Amino acid sequence: MSKISIRDNLLRVEENIESALIASGRNKDDITLVGVTKTVDADSINEAISYGIENIGENKVQEIMDKYDKINKNVNWHMIGHLQTNKVKYIIDKVDLIHSLDRMSLAKEINKRAKSESIIKDVLIQVNIAEEVTKFGLKKEEVIPFIESILDFKNIRVKGLMTIAPFSENPEEVRFVFRDLRNLGYEIEKKNYENLEMKYFSMGMTNDYKVAIEEGANIVRIGTAIFGKRVY
Ligand SMILES: *Cc1c(COP(=O)(O)O)cnc(C)c1O
């Protein structure tokens, strides 16, 4: 991937995001672009940062550990992948937002590790709207009981919801996923839980971010459209 193409790709993605926001009557700054950097080397990530990327997302603890010291410090890290309980300790002081809280054992561990660092960790709850067996996340109807069971965890702050839509050639087919997640957010907001904000809706990837934005995404996680096809 040459310099020019990361820059051009990023510009194109930013233009698309802006037009989707404007088309849906939203403020053009009402979104956070997370550049998904899994498998991307540190030089390319730093290059993207030099073009204005302020948030990067990784899905593996090991990759965060390997890259952390090589990446420009002026960037926020997002843990977007499945998080093993025994690895929380390695990233608790490195990531700004964990998108993948999906079970009690993980909530307990994040709370415990955050407490020992004297910090409050911002998290999103991952919801498996389409109930795909291959994906992690709580089922829709499990989310409110789960939230209520962690309300007194002092070192975790729930900031919103995250979902991954099933892959589809036609993103219109997964519009309901984004709409359902946003509606679940409204339902949770109405409960007026203390110290809990439905501020972020992390939804939309390369294939479907325009539809996700139209349905209220304010964090999009985009890898391929910026860095090119991943080579594993
Ligand atoms: C890989 C990944 C993305 C980005 O996917 P692209 O299709 O490359 O944009 C977004 N979210 C999660 C959770 C991912 O694992």
What would the pLDDT profile of 24-59 be if each residue is shown by its tens digit? Answer: 999 988 999 999 999 999 999 999 999 999 999 999
Instruction: Name the residue with higher pLDDT: 185 or 231.
Output: 185
For residue 230, which atom of ligand 1 is closest to its CA?
A: 8
**Residue 176 in domain:** yes
Specify the residue with its C-alpha closest to ligand 1, atom 11: 221
Residue 61 lies in a domain: yes
Tokens of 167: 């892959």
What would the pLDDT profile of 192-209 be if each residue is shown by its tens digit? 999 899 999 999 999 999
Whether 95 maps to a domain, the answer reads yes
Domain that holds residue 7: 3-227
Alpha-carbon distances, residue 222 vs 80, 117, 216 (angstroms): 11, 30, 16
Tell me the pLDDT tens digit for each residue of 82-98: 999 999 999 999 999 99
Torsion of CA 103, 109, 113, 115, to 10 degrees: 80
Does the pLDDT value for residue 4 go beyond 80? no
* Tokens matching residue 19: 């037009």
189: alpha, beta or left? (left if phi > 0; alpha if psi -120 to 50): alpha
Q: What is the mean pLDDT of residues 66-91?
A: 98
> Quick check: is 124 in a domain?
yes
Q: Count how many domains the chain has.
A: 1
Shortest-distance Cα residue to atom 12 of ligand 1: 80
Decide if 232 is inside a domain: no
What interhelical angle do 175-190 and 140-150 show, nearest 10?
30
Is the CB of residue 202 less than 8 Å from the CB of residue 100?
Answer: no
Range of lowest pLDDT (74-78, 158-162, 227-231): 227-231
Atom of ligand 1 nearest to the CA of 225: 9
CATH number at residue 36: 3.20.20.10
